[in-house]
Amino acid sequence: MMSISIRFPALLSLVAAFGLPVCATADSIPTPVRTFVQAFVGGAGQGAVRATAVPNLYEVRLGDQFVYVTADAKFFLHGDLYETRGQRNLTESSRRGVRRDIVDAIDPQTYIVFEPPKPKHTVTVFTDVDCPYCAKFHLEVPDLNALGVRVRYAAWPRSPRGTESFARSVSVWCANDPHQAMTDAKAGRTIEPAECENPVQRHFDAGRRLGVRGTPTIVTENGDTIGGYVPYRELVEMLEQG
């Protein structure tokens, strides 16, 4: 088991950052798999384990990554599992579930939400108030609302706490009118500095767990992620297709 920590240090560091419940019942997981997973996570828990569509192959979730181990624990692999017919990516289906869990764990009261009269779809957008492509996306939020798309903004400043960009995100979330402050910030207008109990760091941490690398990053209802600006009509088409 020692070679695992050498080959997969990033996976092991993820284990320390996440609580990892067992998805399948303990009795349904073969003993070699349970032993393997406990050794893999170094006593941090059993990991999230479930049977796959492949006989005698189990999926182990480690943070936002996955490994697969045989029932006898003689073999494991780190990579995506595909169904031959249709070439469906089964690992990506699992990732969607992880992303939904991360987004659902964010307190909905901490989003800045642009709400349509009759919502049909919801997108969660990790945004930086100083990002040009975020500003371009924001100009189309009224069009998205008109087509029934609810836009929930989460904060993802491109620089860490203590920087001007981070402080501007805090000022937006702490403004008397966060919606107007968001619009003003994205238009390049001056916003009043403000401080309060705010979710900016929590949003940023959630974004990192989602794998956000830049803004805007859009998370759809089914857990897909879209990196970068997408014209609003194209986005609505993607949402309609599911």
Please write the tens of the pLDDT for every residue from 172-197. Answer: 999 999 999 999 999 999 999 999 99
Give residue 114's pLDDT.
98
Q: Does the CA dihedral 126-238-179-138 come out positive or negative?
A: positive
Q: Which amino acid is residue 214, in one-letter code?
A: G
Helix (H) or strand (E) holding 149: strand 149-155
Percentages helix, strand, coil for the chain (3-state, rounded to 5) are 45, 20, 40
User: What CATH number is given to the structural domain containing 29?
Assistant: 3.10.450.70
Residue 37 lies in a domain: yes
User: What CATH number is given to the structural domain containing 112?
Assistant: 3.40.30.10
Q: Report pLDDT digits (tens) over 122-133.
A: 999 999 999 999
Give residue 79's pLDDT.
87
Question: What is the rounded average pLDDT for all residues in the chain?
Answer: 86
Q: Mark the ranges of the chain whose per-residue pLDDT is less than 70.
A: 1-27, 40-47, 63-64
Report the C-alpha dihedral over residues 95, 99, 101, 103, rounded to 10 degrees.
180
Quote the CA–CA distance of 216 and 226 in Å, as a whole number.
Answer: 8
Quote the CA–CA distance of 95 and 80 in Å, as a whole number.
Answer: 10
Residue 100 lies in a domain: no
Residue 26 lies in a domain: yes
Give residue 108's pLDDT.
96
Note whether 218 and 99 are within 8 A (CB).
no
Give residue 63's pLDDT.
66
Q: Does the CA dihedral 188-214-127-119 come out positive or negative?
A: positive
Give residue 41's pLDDT.
64
24 phi/psi in degrees, rounded to 5: -85, 160
CA 64 from chain center: how many Å?
9
Find the domain containing 215 and state its range: 108-241
Supply the pTM of this predicted model: 0.77
